Amino acid sequence: MKIQILDPDVANQIAAGEVVERPASVVKELLENAIDAGASSILVEIQSDLAGITMIRVTDDGIGMSAEEAVLAFQPHATSKIRDITDLSQIRTLGFRGEALASIAAVAEVTLVTRPRDSGALAGTRVVVRGGEVIERGDVGAPEGTTVIVKSLFYNTPARRKFLKSRNTELAHIYGVAENLALAHGEVSIRVMHNGKERISTQRSGGLLNAIAGIYGAELARTLIPIDAKTPLLRISGYISQPAESRGNPSGISISINARSITARQIAAAIREGYGTLLPRDRYPVAFVDISLDTTLVDVNVHPTKREVRLSRESEIVSAIRDAVEETLAGCDLAHEVPIAPVQQRITADEPIPAQPVAEPEVAYAGHHRALSLSDRQLRRTEMPGEENLLPTMRPVGQVAATYIVAEGTDGALYLIDQHAAHERILYDQVAERRDAEPTTQELIMPAILSLPPRESAALRDLIPILGEEGFVVEEFGRDTFAVRSVPAGPGALEDPEGIRETIAEILAGTSRTGPDRREAVTCIIACRGAVKAGVRLTHDQQERLLAQLARTKTPWTCPHGRPTVVAFDKQRLDRMFRRT
Ligand code: ADP
Ligand code: MG
């Protein structure tokens, strides 16, 4: 074959392949055009049958187009939004490629009806384009604004049609696109209907929180934490979730940059990092944030569907976002909102709760002297001076199941504290605090000897440097045999060889990760070993000390694994439970 320039229709179809991946891409482009046209309200109507999406109609009350513009808009690279490549660095509109209408019309039948706003034009224009050819144009009565109707999508590209997923999957993508745009554009009201039924509806200037409530439900919206932070580089605003509202993947994180909704893994990761140990390792928060940045720092022209952007000074941006999230969380009271599983159910359980004296553990459990003194030793290790108090003032009333401390707040609230989780948090914070300093080690009088199966001994060999940073001195002597000569001193101190063996076994089992994560996992295990156990009776004095120590941690509300340490029932809630209000 000889080299030839492609027929423009073929070229457009190929270009369309990048822009129009699926019905949701059409919705995205049409919604963006409506927003760029200054619409204040946009209606998206979808029709489908069992085979899939049959029609998409987007109606806006934006500036509209003249008769000439209406035809020109379908030409490839026809845009009113930029003139010059330098305009791209100051782009404020969502569109700029001039490709969307041309691309959609190359692979579908598109009807455009439009009348320019405030132009005095008596009639509007109707243009029908199919497979890139204008097949009809003329005057028509029309309201101000623009309606675009797309039918027979991919009628001439069977390969693309074949890759469409089920109707519900395609609908889900459409709703996703509309939701993201609605969240990033509170200035527009967006309504999505499917086969005549309303699916999404957000109110204009109802605020972001209202839009979130409209899309994700009032329950989530109620618990969100507002974030609004400004640095010389950027401003981050929006809402982030309570740690208790976490998800198993990052899909609950919606990000826009300068009101352009995008996917940005680095930024999602920065938001996650801001939660630190407030969340378990494999959990992600929910977040709705907009980052305002100088437009010259954002390259929007890196992806045909503008789904991604490239950032200059990315690492500074990422750390500013992480810090903003961390500071926002540090400044709020996280316990009151910990959702508590259906309390009523527990109360009305069939089994009668046996009457049990809650207080006086000293007397009742005097026989458990060993356990008492162990808890005492464990608590004494974490006794530290300090005044900061991040918990509400509370007084322990007793213990339930030798696991939960029951406390009364001066505000009349009832608190339940998981004693083990709470002590883990205390230990973790103290160990982490000392982490940047030289580890203090404690030499053992008798080294503890470990003989390991080959696979584990290989793993331990790898871990020796990391263990060293934590204060373990481990030496290999002979085949698969190791001597532990020193252990970390301080809070999580280990004394007996059995404890040391168990800790190292746990570290070996629990550190498949690499890098800083691994270091963190090791710290966590060491910290948690020394924690007061569940199922151990504590004296009133010990309970008080534990609460006081917890109050001095940086993040008293969760343990290092992200589980709650404290759950709260405020007075109103108690009143409600007893129908006093
Ligand atoms: P882009 O949005 O990148 O400019 P499009 O192909 O999406 O390219 O649209 C081409 C042009 O058509 C736009 O620049 C705009 O001037 C005009 N246009 C498209 N949709 C609308 C609309 N809903 N209201 C007013 N003008 C529109
Ligand atoms: Mg566009």
DSSP line for 435-455: TTSPPPEEEEEEEEEEE--HH
Q: What integer pLDDT is reported at residue 295 of this predicted model? A: 92
Lowest-confidence region among 14-23, 297-306, 425-434 = 425-434
Neighbour count for residue 314 (Cβ, 10 Å) = 14
Name 396's Cβ contacts closer than 8 Å, sequence gap at least 6. Answer: 405, 406, 407, 540, 543, 544, 547
For 40, list phi and psi in degrees, rounded to 5.
-105, -20
More confident: 62 or 169: 62
Our answer on whether the CB atom of 95 is closer than 6 Å to any ligand 1 atom is yes
Per-residue burial over 365-396, b = 16 or more CB atoms within 10 Å of its CB, e = otherwise: beeeeebbeebbebbebbeeeeeeeebbebeb
If pLDDT is split at 50, 70 and 90, which confidence band does 524 have?
confident
Going by pLDDT thresholds of 50, 70 and 90, the confidence category of residue 390 is confident
The pLDDT > 70 percentage for the chain reads 87
Query: Residue 520: CB within 6 Å of ligand 1?
Result: no
Burial class of residue 203, CB neighbours in 10 A (0-12, 13-18, 19+): middle
Could you tell me where in the chain the CATH 3.30.230.10 domains are found? Answer: 217-330
Angle, CA of 410, 416 and 422, to the nearest 5° = 105
Q: CA of 308: how far to CAs of 73, 104, 264, 311, 381, in Å?
A: 25, 21, 7, 10, 50
Please choose, from the candidates 498, 515, 507, the residue with its C-alpha nearest in 3D space to the C-alpha of residue 471: 507
Instruction: Report, as an integer, the average pLDDT of 228-243.
Output: 94
Comma-separated ranges of CATH 3.30.1370.100 domains in the chain: 371-567
* Residues above pLDDT 90, as percent of the chain: 43
In the reported structure, the alpha carbon of residue 73 is separated from the centroid of ligand 1 by a whole-number distance in angstroms of: 6
Q: Which residue has the higher pLDDT, 454 or 41?
A: 41
Show the DSSP H helices in 311-418 as ranges.
314-330, 343-347, 361-364, 369-381
Q: Could you give the CA distance from residue 76 to residue 317 in angstroms, rounded to a whole number?
A: 35
Q: Which pLDDT tens digit goes with each residue over 458-499? A: 888 888 888 888 788 898 887 788 888 888 776 555 667 777
93 Cα–ligand 1 center, Å: 10
Tell whether the torsion through CA atoms of 286, 260, 171 and 16 is positive or negative: negative
Nearest ligand (C-alpha, residue 68): 1
Mean pLDDT, the chain, integer:
84
Tell me how far apart the alpha carbons of residues 263 and 260 are, in angstroms, rounded to a whole number: 10
pLDDT-derived band at 581 (thresholds 50, 70, 90) equals: confident
CATH 3.30.565.10 positions along the chain are 8-205
Instruction: Point out the ligand nearest to the CA of residue 74.
Output: 1
Q: Tell me which H or E stretch contains 291.
A: strand 287-293
Q: Where does the pLDDT of residue 140 fall: very low under 50, low under 70, confident under 90, or very high at 90 and above?
A: very high
pLDDT digits (tens, 9 = 90+) for 351-374: 333 343 333 333 333 333 444 466
No. of H helices and E strands in the chain? 19, 22
Q: pLDDT, tens digit, for every residue of 54-102? A: 999 999 999 999 999 999 999 999 999 999 888 888 888 999 999 999 9
Q: Which helix (H) or strand (E) is 546 found in, with range?
A: helix 540-551
The Cβ-side half-sphere exposure at 441, using a 13 Å CA radius, reads: 16
Q: Is any ligand 1 atom within 6 A of the Cβ of residue 81?
A: yes
What band does 212 get if pLDDT is binned at 50, 70 and 90?
Answer: confident
Probe residue for ligand 1, chosen from 61, 88, 101, 104 as the CB with the greatest number of ligand atoms within 8 Å: 101
Give the largest CA-CA distance in the chain.
Answer: 98
Which candidate, 148, 209, 144, places its Cα nearest to that of 182?
209
The DSSP H or E segment spanning 526 is helix 515-529
Q: Is the pLDDT of residue 441 over 70?
A: yes
Tell which residue, 404, 248, 247, 266, has the closest CA to residue 322.
266
At 226, which amino acid appears?
P
Å from CA of 291 to ligand 1 middle: 25
Q: Mean per-residue pLDDT for 284-305?
A: 92
Question: CA nearest 504: which of 485, 520, 526?
Answer: 526
Residues in the chain: 581
- Whether 542 contacts 368, CB under 8 Å: no
When pLDDT is averaged across residues 519-544 and rounded to a whole number, the result is 82
Regarding the beta carbon of 60 and ligand 1, being less than 6 Å apart is answered: yes
In CATH, the architecture of 371-567 is: 2-Layer Sandwich (3.30)
Cβ–Cβ < 8 Å for 48, 167: yes
Q: Highest mean pLDDT range out of 183-187, 242-246, 521-525?
A: 183-187
Closest ligand 1 atom to residue 97 Cα is 3
Would the CB of 65 count as within 6 Å of ligand 1?
Answer: yes
Position 514 pLDDT exceeds 60: no
What's the helix, strand, coil split of the chain in %, to 5?
40, 25, 35
Q: Which ligand is nearest to the CA of 77?
A: 1
Amino acid 486: pLDDT: 86
Beta bridge partners of 149: 57, 111
Question: Any idea which of 177-186, 243-252, 317-326 has the lowest mean pLDDT?
Answer: 243-252
Taking the chain, what is the end-to-end CA distance rounded to the nearest angstrom? 84
pLDDT band of 445, cuts 50, 70, 90: confident
pTM confidence score: 0.65
Backbone phi, psi, residue 448, to 5°: -90, 130
Pick the more confident residue, 419 or 249.
Answer: 419
**Higher confidence at residue 54 or residue 507?**
54
| CATH class of the 217-330 domain in this structure | alpha beta
Residue 226 Cα distances to 246, 321, 513, angstroms: 16, 14, 33
Interval between CA 62 and ligand 1 midpoint (Å): 11
Question: What's the pLDDT score for residue 88?
Answer: 85
pLDDT at 238 over 90: yes
In the numeric block, which tokens belong to residue 336? 């009151």
Q: Around 307, how many Cα atoms within 13 Å sit in the side-chain half-sphere?
A: 12
- Cα 132 to chain centroid distance, Å, stands at 41
* CB of 99 sitting under 6 A from ligand 1: yes
Q: Does the C-beta of 418 come closer than 6 Å to ligand 1?
A: no
pLDDT for residue 544 is more than 80: yes
CATH topology of domain 8-205: Heat Shock Protein 90 (3.30.565)
Q: How far is CA 526 from CA 395, 449, 466, in A?
A: 29, 18, 12
Beta carbon of 542 within 6 Å of any ligand 1 atom: no
Cβ–Cβ < 8 Å for 77, 95? no
Residues 155-164 have a mean pLDDT of 90
Distance 83 CA to ligand 1 centre (A): 14
User: How high is the pLDDT of residue 122?
Assistant: 80
The owner of tokens 């899909």 is 251
Look at residues 285, 184, 277 and name the one whose alpha carbon lies nearest to residue 240: 285
